């Protein structure tokens, strides 16, 4: 009886071993079928070339679009300022038309002062500020010396004696240097 049991156990072990071998073979076959194929060098090249061409085209479109926007911005940069200066132009035209008939110099002067104040208000609103140069120490970063004259007194040596042409700041940045006469 024990021999029969040993044979039965040997048969069962043999059957289990065959089933495991078959399962392993099936799994090996299934995994080899499911594994993705490695792309060839030509496929990789084609994919990378396609990505490069798309990226290059996208960059070119971006560059063209930003250049167009920049040109548009430059073309219309002063639109707001021009619109605010149009009433000043209208007032000058009215003053010229009215001054042809007037003999009163005081009313002409008053009209020009009103127009000047209107223009100054528009420019001040845009950040323009006149530079005060007369009586201050000469500064080559702000002033342009067009002449040197003897100073009337010792306190005025190296200082601006006369402001020939005003200098201007635009938002605290010098946009025109003051042309000045400096005392020596």
- How confident is the model over 31-39, as a mean pLDDT? 66
Q: Distance between CA atoms of 90 and 119, rounded to whole angstroms?
A: 11
Tokens standing for 109? 């002067």
Angle 72-75-76 from CA coordinates, rounded to 5°: 90
**pLDDT exceeds 80 at position 116:** yes
- How confident is the model over 88-108, as a mean pLDDT? 82
pLDDT given for residue 80 in this prediction: 80
Least confidently predicted of 20-29, 32-41, 93-102: 20-29
What does the H/E/C string look like for 156-182? Answer: HCCEEEEEEECCEEECCEEEECEEEEE
pLDDT band for position 75 (50/70/90)? confident
- Tens of pLDDT, residue by residue over 150-159, are 988 888 898 9
**pLDDT exceeds 70 at position 4:** no
């Amino acid at each position: 009886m024990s021999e029969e049991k040993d044979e039965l156990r040997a048969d069962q072990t043999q059957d289990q071993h065959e089933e495991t071998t078959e399962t392993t073979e099936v799994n090996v076959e299934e995994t080899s079928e499911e594994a993705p194929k490695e792309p060839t060098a030509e496929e990789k090249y084609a994919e990378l070339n396609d990505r490069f061409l798309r990226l290059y085209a996208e960059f070119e479109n971006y560059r063209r679009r930003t250049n167009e926007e920049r040109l548009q911005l430059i073309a219309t940069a002063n639109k707001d300022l021009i619109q605010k200066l149009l009433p000043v132009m209208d007032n000058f035209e009215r003053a010229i038309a009215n001054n042809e008939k007037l003999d009163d110099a005081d009313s002409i002067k008053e009209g020009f002062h009103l127009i000047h104040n209107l223009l100054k208000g528009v420019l001040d609103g845009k950040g323009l500020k006149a530079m005060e140069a007369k009586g201050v120490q000469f500064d080559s970063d702000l002033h342009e010396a067009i002449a040197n004259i003897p100073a009337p007194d010792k306190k005025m040596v190296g200082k601006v004696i006369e402001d020939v042409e005003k200098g201007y700041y635009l938002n605290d940045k010098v946009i025109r240097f003051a042309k000045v006469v400096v005392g020596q």
